[in-house]
Amino acid sequence: MNWDLMNDGVGNPKNCKSLLYSHVTPPNMISGIRANAEIAVRAGFKHIQFF
């Protein structure tokens, strides 16, 4: 998926991966420590004490 940002000038598109359905493709988190997105969200609430 190519897209172009206006703030760095026109004509140099960036390539990015789609995040569509990314919540159902484990592992989640930056280091892959959570089995799925549901567990990751619950752990986030638990450990940052917003729950």
Contact 20, 28 (CB under 8 A): no
Q: What is the pTM of this model?
A: 0.46
CA distances from 42 to 2, 8, 19, 36, 45 (A): 33, 37, 20, 10, 5
Is the predicted pLDDT of residue 51 greater than 70, yes or no?
A: no
Given this model, what pLDDT does residue 13 score?
A: 82
Instruction: Read off the pLDDT of residues 1-50 as tens digits, 9 standing for 90 and up.
Output: 677 777 777 888 887 777 788 777 777 777 878 888 888 888 888 888 76
Given this model, what pLDDT does residue 39 score?
A: 85
